[in-house]
Amino acid sequence: MTEASHLTLTRTAYDTVAADYARLVPPSFEDDLHGRAMIGTFAELVRAGGPVADLACGPGHVTAHLHALGLAAFGVDLSPQMVAVARRSYPDLRFEEGSVTGLALADGSLGGALAWYSTVHTPPELLPEVFTEVHRVLAPGGRLLIAFKAGEQHRHLAHAYGHDLSLEVYWVAADRFAALLGRAGFEVEARLVCEPGPGQLSQQGYFLARRPDGPSGLSGPAAG
């Protein structure tokens, strides 16, 4: 099967910038008090529910934060170079190569999943595929915490983190994001939308969603 072009571009871009990304980005996570507060709530809810996947984990700093909160966390990333950086930085944690569109995980095997800006390079019309896959691997009652760029923009990046590259970045309006999660079978439990901070171009969205107990809960053609 031919890989979707946005996945190939994303892998190539992050393979290119992995070392510099690992140096530049983790400090901004430490400054994200609102986002880390949401992660704290997520951790309280999923701690007894089984393994937690950090999807598109990058250099592993968020996976390590989840581990420090007492979660059985592991990371998955599309970029082999990012996985290599994460393994060097956190040798006691588990990191694997993989795509959020096709996870090598059994149905219902996770108590929780974190997608920290993991969908910003996914065209919005393809988000149902991502959400449906995450829904599949979560156990009934499992939670998804997802951070995203809230708004209605699409930008092409030709240079980032000190490197030339080719990468698309998508902003999605909060209400549309919630609707797409709902069509994939999730119940949105909490929404936090923050106004732009220093150096940010838009609002930042943080949604906590739950896979309901019982049947899959999928609805509508976009869920497939």
Dihedral sign for Cα 21, 27, 31, 32, please.
Answer: positive
Longest dimension (CA), the chain: 48
165's tokens: 């590259």
| pLDDT tens track for 210-222 | 999 865 444 333 3
pLDDT at 201: 76
Intervals of the chain under pLDDT 70? 1, 214-224
In angstroms, the CA 191 to CA 87 distance is 32
pLDDT at 1: 60
- CA 78 from chain centre, in angstroms, equals 12
158's tokens: 């030709």
- CB contact set of 157 (below 8 Å; sequence gap of 6+): 13, 165, 166, 167, 168, 169
- CB contact set of 26 (below 8 Å; sequence gap of 6+): 59, 61
What stretches of 25-126 show up as alpha helix (H) in DSSP?
26-31, 33-46, 61-68, 80-89
In angstroms, the CA 165 to CA 10 distance is 9
pLDDT at 205: 97
| pLDDT tens track for 46-72 | 999 999 999 999 999 999 999 999 999
pTM listed for this prediction = 0.92
